[in-house]
Amino acid sequence: MKKRIKILLANSPSPYIRCRWDIKYEKTVAMQYLPFPTRIAYATALLKQHGFNAHIIDGLAEEITRKEFIDRVKVLKPDLLIWETIASAFDYDIKTMEMIRKVLPNIKIGASGYHASATYKYCLKSGYDYVIVGECDYSILELAKYLSGELKKIPKGVVTKAHKLVKRPLIQNLDELPWPEREELPIRKYNDPKLYGFNVVLISTRGCPWGCSFCTTPVYYGKTNFRLRDPVDVVDEMEFLWNEYKPDEIYFDDDNFAVNEKHVEDVCREIQKRKLKIRWNCMCDARVSDRLIKLMKETGCAGITIGAESADSEVLKHLGKPITREDIIGFVNSCNKYKVKSHVCWVLGLPYSTKKGDLETIKFALKLPCFTMQFSICMPFPGTEMFKWCIKNNYLIENWKKIKGNDRCIVDYPGYGHKEIEENVLYARKLWHRRMLRNPNVIYYHLFNIYRYQGLSGIFNVSMRALKRLI
């Protein structure tokens, strides 16, 4: 048997944030969105549980330069380095890989994540030694064992130039996994501006049953992918996080926390059983019931985010998520009834969108009495049904390498071009910011968050940016 290899999992520094959707990273923004790297944190914890010398670096959260990141890699001297690549940062990552190989010529480098899963052949062609396709935890663990001589065959879920892909079944018992690695990560740097103050992330489920045409979740997990953790273990982790890190809020960053209402009820009942006083927040869909929102509020839920996506009935019909305008209205009304803050996400430029339909969505959204909202440009990420649909109908004006976070559209629909979609998003954001400035509660909420992270200088910077947007 060979000596066991050393593994480094990383978020390499880049101009874009590695999350569900590529987002441009701007240091000038006082309340920068920085998501916790859940997938590679789980994989790191699993490697450590099995006795491997494994480490994790989040270069973006630590705000280190590419050179500083490479220096850190050089000091650690890992045998295997794996990071999640994304469309927006793909070429940037390739350059980083080339620079690392100049100082560590024997290192093996792999790519993981939703983008790597969808473009694994291109990743291999671009220089990666390994690509992890789909759910990465056990694929990375078994790759480490393979490279250490403990396994004779390349594991399922791992592809190389010499080994074809054999898909790995999804993990059915999520409770067999250790909690994600946090000790090596800058836990106080992770932030979601829609949440209250310093927030810590966990998940209670994996996947989502709806399969929206633009969503990357089915690309990563597959179409039949929804699984649950044991509610007792979930609350164990909540309690640990609350006591260990003392956050202002805990966030369930599930793809769809409340799709199984019994699961949420069981989590809430466990919180009640322990008499915990924990403030928490979550991501759901608009069909969460009034009864469940009431129970969630009683057990500490302070806010719920939903992906409403569109108010255009034609778009909703083709979306892949069974929601209606009435569901969206009912959700917001229930949140207001129980004093739960609602955050509604809207996406313009979805498949089957029209200029008239998107303008109707903006009008509908701004009349909705939710606490906060956001507007995004729909991106045709590789592997999604939207990407395939755009290719089939010749709607793409650029290839996927031209995806630039949330600030540039790369599709032209008949009668509705990319420039008009970009203009509508900017128009919607401006109207939303104007409405926000008329709500003292929202202003106070955001100012508190900014002060919590950035102090008075952060409040000044955001105020100047807001004025520029409104002029």
The pLDDT of residue 451 is 64
At 92, list the tokens: 């940037």
Determine what percent of the chain is predicted with pLDDT higher than 90.
81
> In terms of pLDDT, which residue wins out, 34 or 363?
363
Residue 467 has pLDDT above 60, yes or no: no
Q: Which of 71-85, 329-343, 385-399, 448-462 has the lowest mean pLDDT?
A: 448-462
Residue 2 has pLDDT above 90, yes or no: no
Tell me the C-alpha distance between 124 and 130, whole Å. Answer: 7
Q: Which of 15-24, 266-275, 401-410, 411-420 has the lowest mean pLDDT?
A: 15-24
Q: What superfamily would CATH give domain 192-436?
A: Aldolase class I (3.20.20.70)
pLDDT tens-digit map of 365-376: 999 999 999 999
Residue 458 has pLDDT above 80, yes or no: no
Region 61-90 average pLDDT: 96
In the predicted model, what is the mean pLDDT of the chain? 92
The pLDDT of residue 32 is 73
> In terms of pLDDT, which residue wins out, 341 or 442?
341
Residue 470 has pLDDT above 60, yes or no: no
Give residue 282's pLDDT band: very low, low, confident or very high (50, 70, 90).
Answer: very high
pTM for this predicted structure: 0.93
The pLDDT of residue 439 is 79
Q: What superfamily would CATH give domain 6-159?
A: Cobalamin-binding domain (3.40.50.280)
The pLDDT of residue 343 is 97
The pLDDT of residue 106 is 97
Residue 17 has pLDDT above 70, yes or no: yes
Q: Which amino acid is at 298?
A: E
Give residue 396's pLDDT band: very low, low, confident or very high (50, 70, 90).
Answer: very high
The pLDDT of residue 69 is 97
Tell me the C-alpha distance between 189 and 61, whole Å. Answer: 6
> In terms of pLDDT, which residue wins out, 141 or 454?
141
Q: Which of 43-52, 432-441, 448-457 has the lowest mean pLDDT?
A: 448-457
- Domain borders along the chain are 6-159, 192-436
